[in-house]
């Protein structure tokens, strides 16, 4: 009887370790599901143009889709930092990156921002 109890305890420890390992890998799997998208629209400032009550300028990509405007807030990263703040300007661009929905807003983690020449 003692032998089967020791085996059960070992199995419980192994199963518990497996569950923790699997749980720690879940964010990796979730991140790999994000797909890169390309959006075209105008970059404006959430503070200066949209008059949002925030302390600093925040770039927002405004995309027109199906007769509606959708705002994608730029996540802080090297690409957005290099692009710089538009403040009161409005620039037409193509943005490549991954989109997420957080805090009731759409966000884009840009991997590339390219100006679009208007014809």
Domain positions in the chain: 1-33, 36-115
Average pLDDT, integer, range 68-86: 96
Specify the long-range contacts of residues 104-109, CB closer than 8 Å, at least 24 apart. Answer: 105/71, 105/73, 106/70, 106/71, 106/72, 106/73, 107/72, 107/73, 107/74, 107/75, 108/37, 108/39, 108/61, 108/72, 108/73, 108/74, 108/75, 109/75, 109/77
Assigned fold of 36-115: OB fold (Dihydrolipoamide Acetyltransferase, E2P) (2.40.50)
The pTM of the whole model exceeds 0.75: no
Using the Cα atoms of residue 69, residue 70, residue 73 and residue 79 in order, give the sign of their dihedral. Answer: negative
User: Model confidence over 20-68: pLDDT tens digits?
Assistant: 544 544 444 444 457 899 999 999 999 999 999 999 999 999 999 899 9
């Amino acid at each position: 009887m003692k032998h089967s109890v020791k085996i059960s305890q070992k199995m419980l420890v192994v199963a518990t370790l497996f569950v923790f390992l699997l749980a720690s890998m879940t964010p990796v799997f979730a991140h790999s599901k994000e797909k890169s998208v390309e959006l075209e629209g105008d970059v404006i400032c959430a503070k200066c143009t949209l008059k949002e009550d925030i302390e600093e300028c925040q770039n927002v990509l405004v995309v027109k889709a199906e007769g509606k405007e959708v705002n994608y807030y730029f996540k802080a990263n090297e690409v957005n930092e290099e692009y710089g703040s538009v403040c009161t300007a409005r620039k037409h661009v193509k943005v490549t990156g991954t989109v997420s929905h957080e805090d009731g807003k759409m966000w884009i983690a840009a991997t590339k921002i390219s100006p679009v020449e208007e014809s």
